[in-house]
Structure 1
């Protein structure tokens, strides 16, 4: 009796141990999940969900995800996907339009008995990581479950936004325009039961275009400026009684296009200014008429002064030529008188 009782007790304890074993093994809590990933994890990390025996079955995940239409469990490669990175990741294939549903609803990667790596709305072609084991290492994939889903409403088209920025390069005489195109897909929010933008998976690309400057843009790069310099003001002439005088000066104008200069143009500018009182009076003062030099006529005869030096100093006296000429005339007169007297005596004698 005692043996039977002991055996019954032992069996009960063994059954309890079998029930408790998974609970002990899966004793890690969800609060530990964020720190559970090893630093050298290969692949894209999912959400770590505590492992239980129920999570090994596809019907569990069909109940967890209302949009799931069919779930499949695999230990190797199938038409749905394959094990990659030497057993450390699972990569899904492109979704076939002939399959039920319209997208991958959820991927569950099994490895060890501590965590499940759960990825909602997984993307094809992405290597998703297997979860860590109880030794803190990334475990090899034991099997994986994938569910096909169908959205209750049609998925909106990706949101596409464009921003454009143009830069003028005056040196190369071109305008460079960079257009940034951002494409943001939508994802299904199970809690809100609506489509929301998936900002984490937004993709951005740039498109660059180069063109020549327009005339206006070229003018902005090479602004037209004018440089003007001036000469000194120069007075004109004025007459007595004038109160103003006209002034003139040279104006030199050069037009620049950037650093290129046109030929300088010279013009004349005039203005009128008031004459000062001194300038007016000075112009009105008559210029004295110079007194002409008069040479006195020769009175004839012998100068009263016999002082030759005095005569020379004053310009008086008779020139020797006049003396000779006078002597000759006197001699001729005496000779004529004498000859006339002689003729008279000859006539009387006859």
Structure 2
């Protein structure tokens, strides 16, 4: 990966030019960099970006110069059958910045004004990159029943798992059970709203969740780790009549998924891909009301000149105390 000079992007009508401040290093970025995920190469990577509006194009009405904004990672066409139905996360012709089109590890990024969202002044540029994760969490939980007043188990306590915990708490869950192998992530989960902590790998995690839920299991199990093991665990942790929210991106196929549970336990399994613009708006309102805290999720920072080192750091799993790393492009 190299840093090279580029011409400033053009500014079509309805677009704004954003001077990037930070872009987070996402697992998707690392997968593209290592060749595990296909992309349209060569390209500029990155899609979780915050910055300041530097210039506005003709016909822009929502934004003004100087606005601090977070960018939508998705670009959509607005004309395909899914976009017409409002399901822009399933756009047939669009894609992800930094994968199907140029990304945001750049000083200047041009986007449609509808793809940039102002965020509260008390949130730092680095922390605001977490809005990209939070809006996907908001979308997914919006699809899941039983969270208000229900027992919710969250498998995995990375940044999105911790956002799920905070949102479930804000949504009125009766109790939240955090399940992960990491001791320090369990402590972070407790600080951010988890009521019960289950350390996977120490005893039977499925039984531990049942013991905390009257022997029945959780009404909702949110799987964020995306491994075959944790996906199988989710089926054991969910109570009859409950729901599994499959948030983590798992393997193409998983052996050992109990197909009969769909019938005998009458469970619902919910998929979730990215989110919609209205979920961004709700995410921003939640943070503005200080019901969700994004700041603790940023643990590491790298300057743009050291982007290679940042990617290598994340690809190797960090340092044992890593949640989110950002590349600081500018002020």
TM normalised by structure 2 equals 0.19
Q: Which has the higher contact order (CA 8 A, sep 6+)?
A: 2
Task: Judging by fraction of residues, say which structure has more strand.
Answer: 1
Q: Rg bigger for which structure?
A: 1
